């Protein structure tokens, strides 16, 4: 597959993305309830067949997290952590339905964490070079902050360990960005420097 077949957005951007890119697939990553229901309504507006796959899990990247941020502030709620079963189902979707003609939009709430991590794993799983995939995602979503639990599940599936892992690459990127003292929105400008120096 080619990197251009993969697109990422937030829920608010989804109608425009579908209209502009006519995807064959939409992958929704959201809490159960309103966000995924809204995505179903958006996909249903279009009068051509779209394979719509939904995974319900929260935007948390630490198993220690006990609180979830809401408009009302922090409150304790039941959290659904991204686990291996979520990523395995997306992998199965890829195995069974992706082709060289596919165009895949993956979205979460903001297009920053869950969707960027899931897309990164999908791209590498579909034989796109890891560094090329990372650079592409950083250019199309420069403010990304990939969910480390989603990346960890892809590492398990693809048997990546230590410095070969997606988690390790993402950790190095986050440290690189912090050392540059720039905003994530401008990170696309320096991703080539990171890739050149990545060890």
> Which pLDDT band, with edges at 50, 70 and 90, does 155 fall under?
very high
Residue 71 pLDDT > 60: no
> Which pLDDT band, with edges at 50, 70 and 90, does 45 fall under?
confident
Would you mind telling me the total number of residues written for the chain in this entry? 199
CATH of the domain at 185: 3.90.190.10
pLDDT, average across residues 148-177:
94
State how many domains the chain has: 1
How many other CB atoms sit within 10 Å of the CB of residue 174? 14
> Which pLDDT band, with edges at 50, 70 and 90, does 67 fall under?
low
Higher per-residue pLDDT: 68 or 126: 126
Which single residue is written with the structure tokens 């902050």?
A: 145
- The whole-number pLDDT of residue 14 equals 95
pTM: 0.91
> What are 99-109's pLDDT values in tens digits?
999 999 999 99
Residue 69 pLDDT > 60: no
As a whole-number percent, the residues of the chain with pLDDT over 70 amount to 90
What residue numbers bound the domain in which 52 lies? 3-197
pLDDT, average across residues 89-103:
97
Establish how many alpha carbons lie within 13 A of residue 115's alpha carbon, considering only the half-sphere containing its beta carbon: 31
């Amino acid at each position: 597959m080619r990197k251009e077949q993969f697109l990422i957005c937030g829920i608010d951007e989804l109608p425009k993305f579908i209209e502009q890119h006519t995807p064959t697939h939409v992958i929704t990553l959201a809490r159960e309830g309103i966000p995924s229901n809204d995505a179903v309504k958006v996909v249903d507006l279009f009068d051509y067949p779209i394979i719509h796959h939904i995974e319900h899990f929260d935007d948390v990247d630490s198993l220690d997290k006990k609180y979830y941020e809401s408009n009302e502030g922090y409150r304790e709620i039941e959290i659904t952590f991204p686990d291996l079963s979520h990523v395995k189902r997306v992998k199965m979707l890829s195995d069974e339905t992706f082709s060289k003609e596919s165009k895949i939009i993956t979205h979460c709430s903001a297009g920053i964490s869950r969707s960027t991590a899931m897309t990164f794993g999908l791209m590498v799983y579909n034989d796109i070079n890891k560094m090329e995939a990372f650079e592409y995602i950083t250019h199309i979503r420069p403010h990304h902050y990939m969910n480390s639990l989603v990346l960890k599940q892809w590492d398990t599936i693809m048997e990546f360990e230590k410095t070969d892992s997606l988690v390790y690459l993402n950790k190095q990127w986050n440290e690189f960005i912090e050392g540059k003292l720039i905003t994530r929105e401008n990170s696309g400008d320096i991703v080539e420097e990171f890739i050149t120096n990545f060890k």
